[in-house]
Amino acid sequence: MTGWCHRRPGKEVNSVAKLSLKEQCKALKLAHIPSIYLEVTYHDREQYLTDLFAAELEERHAKKIRNLIKRAGFPAHKTLEEFDWSPVTLPGSTTITDLAELTFIERRENVLALGAVGTGKTHLAIALGIRACMEGRSVRFYRCLDLVNALLENHRQGRLRRLMAELEKVDLIIIDELGFVPLLREGAELLFNVVAQAYERQSIIVTSNLQFGQWNTVLGDNRLTAALIDRLVHHAHILAFEGESYRLQRALSTIAVNQSDNKEDSITSMAN
């Protein structure tokens, strides 16, 4: 009869037991616990482990959001709380709440922000993109010319399909400043392919200083322009931005303040 015998721990078990806390957490993919375990209050074992793992999950979520924002490629950090809605005219079927809650992304709809330079179009586009990242959505931000140049370069190097596949996976594509620089025909056609691929599958935000009737001056072909606008406008929220440039207003305000300060200094100097 074979009796039960105690098996000695193997070399692998012994080597694991000798690992430091940081090394064990790395092996278990608990990357944040070594830096947070001392901050968690201890009452009993189950409570401590529950709170410790909750803190690990919170850190993972925060890291995911940071990575989403970094990969999006925003040129600056803007928030909806900082945004001034007064220059914006919304269509009757759209509310600020609809935009802020990103219902247009859930419905795979577009947002088109049209109006004068410096009225807040890019600020709103970035803020909506960052809000989407905060909710765990994947976003890509491009200035129009940068996107077209990336498409052309990848096309020349035989990597266009890979770039298009990457764009197809994101929830929101932001195309900023359409209208500042005319595009070559090949570039305009590649831009159309991005819009066509996203149609009713993803959301796109476009900002432009041009009204739709002027887009052919950028895209260079009336039929291509009509087809691109048709796909963007269908299921779209079209926002009209009016008023003077924020940047111009701030510049003029700064000049006025400086002139006032110089005048006061001059008066003080004369009095002395």
pLDDT value of position 119: 92
Is residue 267 very low, low, confident or very high in pLDDT (cuts 50, 70, 90)? low
Instruction: List, in order of start, the domains of the chain with CATH numbers.
Output: 20-41+52-72 (no CATH), 74-248 (3.40.50.300)
User: What global pTM score does this model have?
Assistant: 0.81
Flag whether pLDDT at 95 surpasses 60: yes
- Note whether 52 and 46 are within 8 A (CB): no
One-letter amino acid for residue 35 of the chain: S
CA distance 140 to 68: 9
Pairing of strands 110-115, 203-208: parallel
- Note whether 270 and 263 are within 8 A (CB): no
pLDDT value of position 38: 94
What's the pLDDT tens digit per position in 167-220? 999 999 999 999 999 999 999 999 999 999 999 999 999 999 999 999 999 999
CA distance 40 to 48: 7
Is the Cα dihedral 147, 148, 152, 153 positive or negative?
negative
| Per-residue three-class SS string for 165-199 | HHHHHCCEEEEEEECCCCCCHHHHHHHHHHHHHHC
Element spanning 138, H or E: none
Q: Which two tokens stand for residue 207?
A: 């900002």
Q: What is the mean pLDDT of the chain?
A: 89
The position carrying tokens 């809000």 is 131
Flag whether pLDDT at 1 surpasses 90: no
Which are the contacts of 53, defined by CB distance < 8 A and separation ≥ 6? none
One-letter amino acid for residue 115 of the chain: G
